[in-house]
Amino acid sequence: MKVLRKNLVLEGHDLAYVMLERQIMVESRSNPFITQLIYTFQNAERLFFLMEAARGGNLYRILLRQTPRPFPYERIIFHSGEIACALSFLHVKFIAYRDLKPENVFIFEDGHIKLGDFGLCKQNINQYPKATTFCGTQEYIAYEIYKHYEYDENVDWWSLGIMIYELFTFITPFYDEDESQIEENVLFKDVCYPETLPKDAKTLISGLLERDPKRRLGNKNSPLGLLKDQPFFREPFTLNNIENRRVPPPWVPNVCILNSNKFI
């Protein structure tokens, strides 16, 4: 359950974001890759969003305690594919997600993932003027946002590239202990790819981290081709199979262990 204090929502001028989040979840009830909203209610002081329970926790928690490292290759393909399907669903509705990070990717007990937390979404991203708001989580913010350019839904594909890199390496590609250096790294630093990274994964990630959003993989007009045609999404874990739930998850969380005090 998500609980929001009304006074804080109003003081932060966040009511529009709260209502947008509710609207997106209501309109996404048919999609298996979006966390489902069950009920909303309020009292004099608080707003309540009752959502389906992700008993496997979020991907951030999974990353913290994953052993051995890295994840098995098929699991990375599967998680990446389901996230891509969720983003594609939002983009078809002209919504930019703008806050893709492991904390917002929820693992369900059947092994499937769903996106949650839609407070930073931007609707009508196909219209002009495009988005200009500087928002997101530092390590996952796209190049064009740091440049203060107008931007569209292609910022989400950049964030997906960051996350896939992180699933392989357990660190984001532009990370620096000095947080002020992260922006400089995004703007000017080349990504360092480990020698152990599979070729297909490197091709995919480098395409998603293309600094020109018109050329970026995921953009339907990208000269790099379509995301669904990337060799990374190999049989049986093609994007078409993943989207239509034709393949079972290669990993299912042990919910009892995940929710034990050992990991709190």
Q: 247: which DSSP letter? A: S
262 has pLDDT over 50: no
SS (H, E, C) the chain: CEEEEHHHHHHCCCHHHHHHHHHHHHHCCCCCCECCEEEEEECCCEEEEEECCCCCCEHHHHHHHCCCCCCCHHHHHHHHHHHHHHHHHHHHCCCECCCCCHHHEEECCCCCEEECCCCCCECCCCCCCCECCCCCCHHHCCHHHHCCCCECCCHHHHHHHHHHHHHHHCCCCCCCCCCHHHHHHHHHCCCCCCCCCCHHHHHHHHHHCCCCCCCCCCCCCCCCCCHHHCCCCCCCCCHHHHHCCCCCCCCCCCHHHHCCHHHC
Q: What is the CA radius of gyration of the chain?
A: 18
Strands (E), 52-192: 105-107, 113-115
pTM, to two decimals: 0.93
The overall average pLDDT reported for the chain is: 93
**Residue of 14, 99, 110, 156 with catalytic role:** 99
Which of the four pLDDT bands, split at 50, 70 and 90, describes residue 263?
A: very low
Domains along the chain with CATH numbers: 2-51 (3.30.200.20), 59-243 (1.10.510.10)
Whether 99 is catalytic: yes
Tell me: the pLDDT tens digits for 14-56?
888 899 999 999 999 889 999 999 989 999 999 999 999 999 9
Tell me: the pLDDT tens digits for 78-137?
999 999 999 999 999 999 999 999 999 999 999 999 999 999 999 999 998 899 999 999
φ, ψ at 257 (rounded to 5°): -70, -45
Tell me: the pLDDT tens digits for 192-233?
999 999 999 999 999 999 999 999 999 988 988 899 999 999
Amino acid identity of residue 248, one-letter, is P
Q: How far is it, in rounded angstroms, from Cα 142 to Cα 144?
A: 6
257 has pLDDT over 60: no
